[in-house]
Amino acid sequence: MELKTAVKERRSIRSFKSDPVPESVVSEIITEARWSPSWGNTQSWEIYVVTGETLKKFKEANRAKITSLAPSTTEIPTPQNWPEALKKRYVGVGKSVLGSLQIAREDKQARMDYTADMFSLFGAPCLLLFCFDSSLSVGYAMLDTGLIVQTICLLAQDRGLGTCALAASITYPDLLRELLPIPADRTIAVGVALGYPDPDAAINRFERERAAVSEFVTWVK
Ligand SMILES: Cc1cc2nc3c(=O)[nH]c(=O)nc-3n(C[C@H](O)[C@H](O)[C@H](O)COP(=O)(O)O)c2cc1C
């Protein structure tokens, strides 16, 4: 696949087939993604590949937490307020998602069912969980993590796989710490759902929006 096609066609997948991703494919993708840049080549990322029974347990526990409305205990500070233009985009993607599922804004139960599905990782058969040493500066460690996450997403796209970065996978880090051998001095940064996309699902097909380049680029000559 041409790089620019992969960049354009990668999109967050919110409905996965249950087919497992062969371990060799995940391994190849991560091996190739090691060439991502990082601060001083520190390669601060640490990745847990979670599948099988462990993933099943995590999905169930994560789903139960959100449906009981447990407050987030995420280890990454989450913004509470957004600048107006950004908030509009955030609200916009929410509307597109619910619109694609034909869920009305006032239908609280359907919205909760959708959120529960998100906390079950949209049915993905694999979760890539990214951590880093907590002694690092969060800002640059998150930047390193973001760089390898996008590389992985593009390499997955190239193989017909789908991905979705999911804050919803790290909202309750204690659940992950109970199930995975994550040392206490590591920070859980983000999770990425990985699997084969359901090509027919409307939620994987709605039109996405991007700001015009002029809205965020300043040319200085
Ligand atoms: C750090 C991060 C966390 C995200 N968390 C979620 C999430 O919890 N649930 C979700 O549905 N999408 C999540 N997304 C996906 C974004 O909503 C998505 O990238 C954005 O709307 C742009 O759409 P696209 O990826 O389809 O181009 C997350 C993306 C990033 C980068």
Ligand 1 within 6 A of 205 CB? no
Pairing of strands 126-133, 186-195: antiparallel
Name the residue with the closest Cα to ligand 1, atom 10: 166
Q: Do residues 102 and 113 make contact, with C-beta atoms less than 8 angstroms apart?
A: no
- In a domain? residue 45: yes
Per the structure, the count of domains in the chain is 1
- In a domain? residue 84: no
- In a domain? residue 176: yes
- In a domain? residue 11: yes
Report the first-to-last Cα separation within the chain, whole angstroms.
35
Ligand 1 within 6 A of 95 CB? no
- Residue 59, domain extent: 3-78+116-204
Name the residue with the closest Cα to ligand 1, atom 27: 11
Q: Do residues 149 and 170 make contact, with C-beta atoms less than 8 angstroms apart?
A: no
Ligand 1 within 6 A of 12 CB? yes
Relative to the CA of 10, which ligand 1 atom is closest? 27
**Ligand 1: which of 164, 192, 194, 203 to mutate, most ligand atoms within 8 Å of CB?**
164
Interatomic CA distance for residues 167 and 64, integer angstroms: 16
* Sign of the torsion formed by the C-alpha atoms of 85, 87, 93 and 95: negative
**DSSP helix/strand/coil, 126:** strand
- The pTM for the full model equals 0.97
- In a domain? residue 169: yes
**Residue 129 φ/ψ, nearest 5 degrees:** -110, 130
Q: Do residues 152 and 100 make contact, with C-beta atoms less than 8 angstroms apart?
A: no
**DSSP helix/strand/coil, 133:** strand
- In a domain? residue 43: yes
Q: Do residues 201 and 102 make contact, with C-beta atoms less than 8 angstroms apart?
A: no
CA of 94 relative to ligand 1 center, distance in Å:
10
Look at residue 79 in the predicted model and tell me its pLDDT: 84
Structure tokens at 11: 């999109």
Look at residue 80 in the predicted model and tell me its pLDDT: 87
Ligand 1 within 6 A of 66 CB? no
- In a domain? residue 107: no
Whole-Å CA distances, 213 to 7, 8, 9, 216, 219: 16, 15, 18, 6, 11
Look at residue 89 in the predicted model and tell me its pLDDT: 96
- In a domain? residue 87: no
Q: Do residues 122 and 15 make contact, with C-beta atoms less than 8 angstroms apart?
A: yes
- Specify the CATH number for the domain of residue 36: 3.40.109.10
pLDDT tens digit at each of 221 positions of the chain = 899 999 999 999 999 999 999 999 999 999 999 999 999 999 999 999 999 999 999 999 999 999 999 999 999 999 889 999 999 999 999 999 999 999 998 999 999 999 999 999 999 999 999 999 999 999 999 999 999 999 999 999 999 999 999 999 999 999 999 999 999 999 999 999 999 999 999 999 999 999 999 999 999 99
Ligand 1 within 6 A of 91 CB? no
